[in-house]
Amino acid sequence: MGRSFRAALCDPKVIFGCGFILVLIVLAIFAPWIAPQDPLEQNLMLGTLPPAGFVDAEPGYWFGTDDLGRDVLSRLIYGSRIALTVAFIAAGLAALVGTTLGLLAGWYRGWVETVITRLVDIWMAFPPVLLSTLLVAVFGSGLHSVIAAIAIIDWTRFCRVVRSETMAQASMDYVTAARTIGFSRFRILVSEILPNVAPVLVALVSLEMGIAVIVEAILSFVGLSVSSDTPTWGGMIAQGRQIIYQGWWVMVAPLVMLLLTVLAFNQLGDGLRRALDPMMRR
Amino acid sequence: MIALSILNRLWLAAITLFGVGVVVFVLLRVVPGDPIAMMISPGSTPEQIARMRAHYGLDGGIGSQFWVWLKALLTGDFGTSISLRRNVLELLGERLPATLELATAALVFAALLGGSVAIAGTMVRRTLLEPLIDAVNGTVLAVPDFVWALALVLVLGVFFPVFPLSGRIDPSLQADFATSFYLIESLVRLRPAQFADVAAHMAMPVLALGLPLAAIIARVLKETLLEAMVQDYILLAKLKGMSTLRLVLQEALRNAVGPTIALTGVQFTFLIGGTVIIERIFAYPGIGNMAIDAVINRDLPLIQGLVLVFGSLFIIINVLVDMLVAALNPRLRHG
Amino acid sequence: MTRSLLSIAGLSAVSDRDRGAPILRKVALALERGEVRGLVGESGAGKSTIAKALLGILPRTVRVTGGTIRFEGRDLLTAPAAVLRQIIGSEISLIPQDPQTALNPGRRIEAQLTDGLRLRRGMSAREAHARALTLLEEVHIREPDRVLRAYPHELSGGMRQRVLIASAFALEPKLVIADEPTTALDATVQKQILRLIRGMQKAHGTGVVFVTHDLGVVAQICDSVTLLYAGQVIEEGRTADVLASPQHPYTKALIAAGPRYDRPDAGLKPVPQAVFDQLRAEIGIT
């Protein structure tokens, strides 16, 4: 396992993904010191100014301003806080719930498995976007709702994968050996199977973080996330969409940021999956 | 034998759908915020409010509400939309065809594009072109439909205005449609101007929905094709004198398609889920567009109807895909 | 003097993957028209490599470093691609080892059998169908109609191999490479298939290179035999001669190692290490 981790760290995809996310984390934590302007400060005199390099650009406002005169770059930097918060917490929760249920279903089988898989089927019959807007409406808008909504919707992704992975592991010889020695079923589950399911899980969590960022962006695009004062990339995109003919950069900047972030998480997940995958089976 | 498994699937589907309905029902009753309160005009008497509540099936405890709702559902009564004040079933019926056309067009587009890329990728195996195709495909794959839609709005709507940015058809051409299936009807009735206009309005949403799916199809189909191409029977076919293209299309493809279809089916259901936001971005009048407003307005009957429709679509697609995969595999056919 | 059908001379090849390790060492082999020659050796001896070279499907990692493969006088190693396309598949054909994987599970037998006929002989669908029926009858398949309409998974292993044999002889090839065609079959079916191949070969006057590791098979249907070890020809000659009076200790040991059906209690005698040592010294392997 140690060797494959080292291999993982050398994979270019992992390097790019990790690197970009680290940059984002730095931006998010040190936003007040890094951002050139106050993200909330409106200045109608400086409304809808183009980014640096264009005619009429204002120095100090590198990516231009939106129609209310707010600095796009600063809002972008502050927006990373929301994105990363949602990414880590929501993905983590979804992974927790999904993995637990997946392990239980794949290991104990029987009626436990039937109930859980039935549940997964019903869950997956909902269009994710619709369900998430529904849940946010139920819980009331706000970051906690968004996180809860994402976790509640996406746990099925983890459950399915972990379940099939658990079943595959359960049929392996080392498990039979452990049973004959007399380990309890629960102990085998936690100390033998879980560590072997971990590699697949790590990659999936990374992918899930990318998905979480997108869902949050969609929700704030639609206006169902945090209040419109707090800068979010989705909210910026929505505002930018309104004035797209006058100031295309207001939509492009957060869109590109969103894209790069999702790509980073995807590449990280991809690279990890390839590096940590036991070669015997695939 | 086959009939039995179909019946089994339908039965499971029915249970799932019921489950979906129950979940939505419970979920919506938990919603804070009284939709009725939002609708009443000032000065309404308690009797009027009570009557309104009864009209929308919102009186009584949860148990009786559920019973009332279930009975109504089984008789085809989906209730009245609170925000749009019209029969829910009618509303759904009006807008569902638009979404169906959109989703189907996106699927066809994705299948054609993805299939071609997969076949091309297989034929340039081990040449310099292969990693290039893989890289481009991987990039397209990573971009979600939401981002594609906005990028397309930017590029093809604002910078190089090629396609219309919103709506389904130019109002002046709307006139005399018998059904709500504008695209199909204009094709069948040979109305080129209408057809072209509807198609142009659909172009960007179809691209936004279809590109990610095309990338997935391309990747999976290429993998399965390559697996098939190293089999012994390909070698024997090659010895018979077949060109590489023929080998891929005639010999390998039929064995590679099965697993691809299974995965495509699942991804297609995600695509349909994606119409909720894509239709919104392009102001396309389908059921997806209605959904967000319905949620914001706490329009319970409409939300319930929408969820059931989406749920049914998902389930129907899954059943169809299962049947298709079984039909295509000669081993399963002869059971 | 009739020109040999096939004449391999000084054929050498190395493995690029294995840092130039030799796979074939100046192999020589000759085949007359209508002759069946066995190509015997243990796994890794190089017999499949020779077969692949004859069919033009050597893997990328194997590089020919010398020698010629003359088929009816033409060197296959240097012939232009167009000529090779003409010969391989039409004048040289293959009976593959595993009938399970050699047939496309998604296509009916008729389609697979008539492909070559329509592609290379320009037959119409009807003509090819008729010819396919005849071919199936030749390989003793009863109800050829039903078999033509069937998918491979509906047929038994033996039937599938018969179909493959029919397919190999369909275009009246001059040379057939039989790549251990009975290895994947039950013992009871093996004998039938061997006899069938012999019968077809005699009827069509086809030369056969029969790749196998089993001397018993060689005794049954091969006119002549070539023994390989580590890519080098150890002994060769008419089967009767080689089996009756083997010259090289390796050949003697191989013959002695075969199970004696007339003395079932005799036990098996593996090839002694001394023989391998001698071989290694002769060939020059450390």
Taking all residues of chain B, what is their mean pLDDT, rounded to a whole number?
84
Residue A116 is encoded by which pair of tokens?
């859980």
- 10-residue block means of pLDDT along chain C (286 residues)? 80 87 91 93 88 90 92 91 89 92 92 91 92 94 93 91 94 93 85 92 94 89 92 91 89 81 72 84 77
Instruction: Judge whether B277 is closer than 8 Å to chain A, CB to CB.
Output: yes
Across the interface, do B330 and C153 touch by the CB < 8 Å criterion? Answer: yes
Q: Is residue C20 part of a domain?
A: yes
What pLDDT does C45 receive? 85
Across the interface, do A137 and B31 touch by the CB < 8 Å criterion? Answer: yes
What pLDDT does B58 receive? 67
pLDDT in tens, A85-99: 999 999 999 999 999
CB distance C89 to B241 below 8 Å: yes
Length of chain C: 286
Across the interface, do B254 and C106 touch by the CB < 8 Å criterion? Answer: yes
Q: Is residue C126 part of a domain?
A: yes
CA dihedral B178, B183, B188, B191 (to 10 degrees): 90
Which residues face C39 on adjacent strands? C211, C226
Q: ipTM of this predicted complex?
A: 0.83
The values of phi and psi at residue C237, to 5°, are: 160, -170
Count of the separate structural domains present in chain C: 2
Range of the domain at C157: 99-170
Residues from chain B contacting residue A118 (CB–CB below 8 Å): 15-16, 19
CB distance C17 to C61 below 8 Å: yes
Instruction: Judge whether B316 is closer than 8 Å to chain A, CB to CB.
Output: no
CA quadruple C159, C92, C64, B131: dihedral positive or negative? negative
Average pLDDT over residues B175-193: 83
Q: Is residue C118 part of a domain?
A: yes
SS3 A224: coil
How far apart CA A197 and CA A172 sit, in angstroms, is 13
CATH of the domain at C65: 3.40.50.300
- How many residue pairs bridge chain B and chain C with CB atoms within 8 Å of each other? 58
The whole-angstrom distance between B277's CA and the closest CA on chain A is 7
Q: Are residues C74 and C188 located together in one domain of the fold? A: yes
Residue B143 is encoded by which pair of tokens?
């971009």
Average pLDDT over residues A202-222: 90
Candidates B227, B240, B255, B260: best to mutate against C (most CBs of C within 10 A) is: B240
Q: Find which of A18-32, A167-181, B159-173 is predicted with most confidence, using mean pLDDT.
A: A18-32
Choose among B237, B239, B331: nearest Cβ to C105: B331
CB distance C148 to C133 below 8 Å: yes
Which pTM was predicted?
0.84
User: Measured in Å, how far apart are chain B's first and last C-alpha atoms?
Assistant: 8
Of the residues C143, C170, C197, the one at which a domain ends: C170
Residues from chain B contacting residue A132 (CB–CB below 8 Å): none
pLDDT in tens, A63-122: 888 888 888 899 999 999 999 999 999 999 999 999 989 888 888 888 888 888 888 888
Q: Between these two residues, A147 and B327, which has the higher pLDDT value?
A: A147
Candidates A124, A130, A132, A232: best to mutate against B (most CBs of B within 10 A) is: A130
Q: Among residues of chain A, what percentage have pLDDT more than 90?
A: 25
Listed residue (C59, C75, C73, C76) closest to C18, CA to CA:
C59
- In order of their start, the domains of chain A are 2-281 (1.10.3720.10)
- Is the pLDDT at A281 greater than 50? The verdict is no
Q: Is residue C111 part of a domain?
A: yes
How far apart CA C135 and CA C113 sit, in angstroms, is 9
Choose among A129, A140, A258: nearest Cβ to B273: A129
Listed by number, the residues of chain B in 67-96 with a beta carbon closer than 8 Å to a beta carbon of chain A are none
pLDDT in tens, B307-324: 888 888 888 888 888 888
Other CB atoms within 10 A of residue A195 CB: 11
Instruction: Give the residue on B whose Cα is nearest the Cα of A123.
Output: B20
Other CB atoms within 10 A of residue B45 CB: 9
Q: Is residue C138 part of a domain?
A: yes
Instruction: Judge whether B133 is closer than 8 Å to chain A, CB to CB.
Output: no
Q: Given pLDDT bands bounded at 50, 70 and 90, which one contains residue A237?
A: very high
Q: Are residues C60 and C140 located together in one domain of the fold? A: no
Q: Between these two residues, B65 and B216, which has the higher pLDDT value?
A: B216
Q: Are residues C75 and C197 located together in one domain of the fold? A: yes
Helix (H) or strand (E) segment spanning residue B289: helix B287-296
- Is the pLDDT at B111 greater than 70? The verdict is yes
Instruction: Judge whether C151 is closer than 8 Å to chain B, CB to CB.
Output: yes
Q: Among residues of chain B, what percentage have pLDDT more than 90?
A: 29
Q: Are residues C193 and C210 located together in one domain of the fold? A: yes
All residues at 6 or more sequence positions from C52 whose CB lies less than 8 Å from its CB, including other chains: C58, C59, C62
All residues at 6 or more sequence positions from C195 whose CB lies less than 8 Å from its CB, including other chains: C221
CB distance C104 to C152 below 8 Å: yes
Residues from chain B contacting residue A133 (CB–CB below 8 Å): 276, 291-292, 295-296
Instruction: Read off the amino acid at residue B159.
Output: F
Instruction: Give the residue on A whose Cα is nearest the Cα of B311.
Output: A125
Instruction: Judge whether C96 is closer than 8 Å to chain B, CB to CB.
Output: yes
Q: Is residue C200 part of a domain?
A: yes
Instruction: Give the residue on B whose Cα is nearest the Cα of A213.
Output: B144
CB distance A52 to A62 below 8 Å: yes
- Is the pLDDT at B257 greater than 60? The verdict is yes
Across the interface, do B251 and C107 touch by the CB < 8 Å criterion? Answer: yes
Residues from chain B contacting residue A137 (CB–CB below 8 Å): 31, 295-296, 298
Choose among C88, C103, C153: nearest Cβ to B239: C88
Q: Between these two residues, B319 and B279, which has the higher pLDDT value?
A: B279
- Is the pLDDT at B335 greater than 60? The verdict is no
- Is the pLDDT at B283 greater than 50? The verdict is yes
Instruction: Give the residue on B whose Cα is nearest the Cα of C171.
Output: B240
What pLDDT does C124 receive? 92
Choose among B233, B236, B334: nearest Cβ to C154: B334
How far apart CA C207 and CA C73 sit, in angstroms, is 15
Listed residue (B206, B104, B214) closest to B164, CA to CA:
B206
Query: Percent helix, strand, coil in chain C (nearest 5)?
Result: 40, 25, 35
Q: Are residues C78 and C3 located together in one domain of the fold? A: yes
Helix (H) or strand (E) segment spanning residue A71: none
User: Which residue in the block uniquely carries the two structure tokens 């050498």?
Assistant: C12
Across the interface, do C151 and B334 touch by the CB < 8 Å criterion? Answer: yes
Across the interface, do B143 and A259 touch by the CB < 8 Å criterion? Answer: yes
The whole-angstrom distance between C40's CA and the closest CA on chain B is 23
Listed by number, the residues of chain C in 110-129 with a beta carbon closer than 8 Å to a beta carbon of chain B are 112, 115-116, 119-120
- Is the pLDDT at A149 greater than 70? The verdict is yes
Choose among C89, C102, C164: nearest Cβ to B241: C89
Across the interface, do C103 and B237 touch by the CB < 8 Å criterion? Answer: no
Residues from chain B contacting residue C178 (CB–CB below 8 Å): none
Among B121-135, B201-215, B313-327, the range scoring the smallest mean pLDDT is B313-327
Q: Are residues C75 and C186 located together in one domain of the fold? A: yes
Q: Are residues C2 and C83 located together in one domain of the fold? A: yes
Q: Given pLDDT bands bounded at 50, 70 and 90, which one contains residue B1?
A: low
Listed by number, the residues of chain C in 159-188 with a beta carbon closer than 8 Å to a beta carbon of chain B are 164, 167
Q: Between these two residues, A228 and B261, which has the higher pLDDT value?
A: B261
Give the sheet arrangement for strand C74-75, strand by strand: C21-31, C6-15, C62-71, C74-75
Choose among B32, B146, B275: nearest Cβ to A140: B32
Across the interface, do A126 and B298 touch by the CB < 8 Å criterion? Answer: no
- Is the pLDDT at B211 greater than 90? The verdict is yes
Q: Given pLDDT bands bounded at 50, 70 and 90, which one contains residue A4?
A: low
The whole-angstrom distance between A1's CA and the closest CA on chain B is 27
Q: Are residues C181 and C165 located together in one domain of the fold? A: no
What pLDDT does C40 receive? 92
Of the residues C153, C170, C187, the one at which a domain ends: C170
Across the interface, do A135 and B27 touch by the CB < 8 Å criterion? Answer: yes
Q: Are residues C21 and C82 located together in one domain of the fold? A: yes
Q: Are residues C120 and C203 located together in one domain of the fold? A: no
Of the residues C170, C187, C215, the one at which a domain ends: C170
Instruction: Give the residue on B whose Cα is nearest the Cα of A117.
Output: B16
CA dihedral B179, B182, B188, B194 (to 10 degrees): 130
CA quadruple C36, C37, C42, C46: dihedral positive or negative? negative
Q: Among residues of chain B, what percentage have pLDDT more than 70?
A: 90
Listed residue (C18, C24, C19) closest to C66, CA to CA:
C24
What pLDDT does B332 receive? 62
Q: Are residues C58 and C1 located together in one domain of the fold? A: yes
Across the interface, do C104 and B242 touch by the CB < 8 Å criterion? Answer: no
What pLDDT does B32 receive? 63
Q: Are residues C187 and C207 located together in one domain of the fold? A: yes
